[in-house]
């Protein structure tokens, strides 16, 4: 592990990874969502034999292909950064974290590479049934790819299925299926994929709205709205359900993140859920200031979402730092300072184990290590206050995600209702809102990742490895340089995709014929 790392290096390393992840997640959701929409449209073509649906599917497939290609490029760079910028992380948990990424590359990417060529170039070369199967298998491959990546991320939030080996100073996997099928991984997969479906639905509804405003391809646009609005409505409803599950899991396993999401400094029974609010920027966890300048809350709902009990106790930031409250297990919570002390004991025990020359000394050191290993990561924390994530960013990002999700639910409901009543074409104001919804859906997804990753800080792996101990010992200047190189590269790729997509949209679908 690394001691006395320059805080500037940590900041730039995190910034570079965040930059790559943000750009990558601009492309992934659209791939997941648009892939389903195009597959549904081709399924309608397969069942009806109507060439209109074939041509409709081909248009959205063209946009899917443009987005898919650029998304792959950013994803590859993201994986390389683990070895370059986060070598301590890769050494410490690479045996576990690398496994789902390897499966993703071998299985999911192989599926995509195998069937995507048939999907794009197999029209009129293979049977309709085989082409439809290739389309669905391409979409399934992309979804499976997302699953394994989200399994890896979920493990960082809730590390399971592992055992620490003091001889190699590495965590080793003892149960692949415990890692792959943990409740956190399953819920994260569905919630993230559903957010992608929402982006895909919003994209189709928005582009269709543009065609209607221009009075072009109206039959195509209205048919696309009918399919995508219902799909988006379903995705929003399911996303709300998985979001509830995600909040419950955060309360169980990452209580500091939950406290930051709610701006909750002092724990209470029957805690209310803040609907909207303005945080007091001067608030410190150890003072008596009111955390809010203004707030509207739903009484007792935070306790219900956290513990499925309206009267349950929810600890706040100050309680998590100071300890002393009764945990759900009945044990008395340790203070942050006590966890830091035990973490230092674990680190010292590891050093003693590796330096021991006799079996008895090794056994003694190993016993001390095993007793305190659950607090190992705390040994690298300098101050208790370092355990508090950026409260403002986490709090506001959570509300952006939830409020935009609610807005999109209403928008899809209105679009679905009006399109099936044959009144959507006359609602020009709604068509403009649909265009704006593309950007709002993307913003909602990005805000969700801000909550997940910023709210987890200072941990690279929850309670086991802080970011300060996970990074590579690199010159800060080199990380800065690559940050700006990646910024320029990703921006060029994004601008290129937007221009290519806009040109394809302006050209429109090729309707008519067979």
Structure tokens at 365: 């050191």
pLDDT at 108 over 80: no
State yes or no: pLDDT of 514 exceeds 50: no
Mean pLDDT of 496-509: 92
* Residue in the block written with tokens 């986060």: 86
Mean pLDDT of the 92-99 span: 86
Is 43 in a helix, a strand, or coil? Answer: helix
Q: Where are the alpha helices (DSSP H) in 49-169?
A: 51-84, 87-103, 109-121, 128-157
Q: What is the pLDDT of residue 105?
A: 76
433 against 113, higher pLDDT: 433
Helix (H) or strand (E) holding 38: helix 7-48
Both tokens of 80, joined, read 């390389």
CA 451, 453, 457, 461 torsion: positive or negative? positive
pLDDT bucket at 98, cuts 50 / 70 / 90: confident
User: Mean pLDDT for the chain?
Assistant: 91
What single-letter DSSP state applies at residue 329? T
Over residues 235-278, the pLDDT tens digits come to 999 999 999 999 999 999 999 999 999 999 999 999 999 999 99
For position 68, what pLDDT does the model report?
Answer: 83
Q: In this predicted structure, what is the pLDDT of residue 104?
A: 81
- The answer for residues whose C-beta is within 8 angstroms of residue 239's C-beta and 6 or more apart is 191, 194, 195, 198, 405
Q: Is the dihedral of CA 499, 501, 502, 506 positive or negative?
A: positive
Could you read off the pLDDT of 140-160 as tens digits, one per residue?
A: 988 998 899 899 999 999 999
Of 382, 356, 357, 381, which Cα lies nearest the Cα of 369? Answer: 356
Domain residue spans of the chain = 7-254+390-507, 260-322, 336-380
Closest C-alpha among 31, 66, 34, 45 to residue 123: 45
Predicted confidence at residue 71, as pLDDT, reads 75
The closest alpha carbon to 73, from 140, 123, 26, belongs to: 26
Share of the chain above pLDDT 90, in %: 71
pTM: 0.91
pLDDT band at 357 (very low <50, low <70, confident <90, very high): confident
Burial category of 183 from C-beta neighbours within 10 Å (exposed 0-12, middle 13-18, buried 19 and up)? middle
Residue 359 is predicted with a pLDDT of: 87
383's CB contacts (< 8 A; 6+ apart) are none
pLDDT tens for each residue of 30-47: 999 999 999 999 999 999
Cβ–Cβ < 8 Å for 224, 209 = no
CB 372 within 8 A of CB 343: yes
User: Integer distance in angstroms from the first to the last C-alpha of the chain?
Assistant: 64
Q: Give tens-digit pLDDT for 159-200.
A: 999 999 999 989 999 999 999 999 999 999 999 999 999 999
Three-state DSSP state, 290: coil
* Per-residue pLDDT tens over the stretch 407-466: 999 999 999 999 999 999 999 999 999 999 999 999 999 999 999 999 999 999 999 999
C-alpha Rg value of the chain to the nearest Å: 25
Question: Higher pLDDT residue, 81 or 311?
Answer: 311
The pLDDT of residue 294: 93
Please provide the size of the chain in residues: 514
Whether residue 328 has pLDDT greater than 90: no
Q: Which residue has the higher pLDDT, 264 or 70?
A: 264
Checking if the pLDDT of 113 tops 70, the result is yes
In this prediction, residue 69 carries a pLDDT of 75
Q: What is the widest separation between alpha-carbon atoms in the chain?
A: 84
Opening angle at CA 163, ends 160 and 166, nearest 5: 145
CA–CA dist 407, 415 (Å, integer): 12
pLDDT at residue 205 in the model: 97
């Amino acid at each position: 592990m690394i001691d006395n790392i320059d805080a500037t290096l940590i900041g730039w390393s995190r910034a570079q990874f965040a930059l790559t992840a943000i750009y990558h997640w601009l492309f992934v959701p659209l791939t997941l969502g648009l892939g389903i929409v195009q597959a549904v449209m081709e399924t309608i073509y397969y069942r009806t034999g109507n060439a209109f649906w074939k041509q409709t599917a081909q248009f959205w497939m063209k946009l899917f292909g443009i987005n898919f290609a650029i998304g792959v490029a950013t994803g590859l760079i993201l994986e390389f950064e683990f070895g370059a910028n986060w070598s301590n992380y890769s050494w410490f948990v690479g045996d576990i974290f690398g496994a789902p990424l390897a499966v993703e590359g071998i299985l999911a990417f192989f599926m995509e590479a195998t069937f995507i060529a048939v999907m794009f170039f197999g029209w009129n070369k293979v049977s309709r049934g085989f082409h439809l199967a290739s389309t669905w298998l391409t979409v399934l491959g992309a979804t499976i790819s997302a699953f394994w990546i989200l399994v890896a991320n979920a493990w960082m939030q809730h590390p399971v299925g592992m055992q620490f080996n003091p001889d190699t100073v590495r965590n080793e996997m003892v149960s692949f299926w415990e890692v792959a099928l943990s409740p956190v991984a399953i819920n994260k997969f569905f919630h993230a994929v559903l957010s992608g479906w929402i982006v895909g639905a919003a994209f189709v509804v928005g582009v269709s709205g543009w065609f209607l405003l221009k009075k072009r391809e109206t039959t195509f646009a209205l048919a696309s709205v009918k399919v995508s609005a219902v799909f988006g409505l379903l995705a929003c409803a399911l996303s709300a359900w998985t979001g509830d599950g995600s909040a419950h899991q955060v309360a169980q396993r990452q209580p500091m993140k939950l406290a930051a999401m709610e701006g909750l400094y002092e724990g209470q029974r029957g805690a209310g859920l803040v609907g909207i609010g303005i945080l007091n920027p001067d608030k410190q966890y150890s003072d008596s200031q009111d955390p809010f300048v203004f707030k509207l809350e739903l009484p007792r709902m935070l306790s219900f979402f956290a513990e499925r009990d309206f009267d349950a106790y929810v600890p706040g930031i100050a309680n998590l730092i100071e300890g002393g409250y009764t945990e759900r297990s009945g044990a008395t919570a340790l203070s942050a300072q006590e966890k830091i002390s035990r973490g230092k004991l674990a680190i010292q025990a590891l050093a003693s184990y590796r330096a021991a020359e006799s079996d008895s000394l090794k056994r003694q050191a190993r016993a001390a290590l095993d007793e305190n290993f659950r607090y190992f990561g705390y040994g690298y924390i300098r101050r208790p206050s370092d355990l508090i994530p950026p409260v403002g960013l986490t709090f506001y990002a959570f509300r952006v995600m939830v409020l935009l999700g609610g807005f999109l639910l209403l928008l899809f409901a209105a679009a679905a209702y009006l399109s099936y009543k044959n009144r959507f074409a006359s609602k020009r104001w709604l068509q403009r809102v649909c265009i704006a919804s593309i950007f709002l859906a993307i913003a909602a997804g990005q805000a969700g990742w801000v909550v997940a990753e910023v709210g987890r800080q200072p941990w690279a792996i929850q309670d086991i490895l802080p970011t300060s101990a996970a990074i590579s010992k690199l010159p800060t200047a080199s990380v800065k340089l690559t940050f700006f190189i990646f910024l320029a590269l990703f921006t060029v790729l994004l601008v290129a995709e937007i221009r290519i997509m806009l040109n394809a949209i302006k050209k429109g679908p090729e309707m008519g014929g067979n």
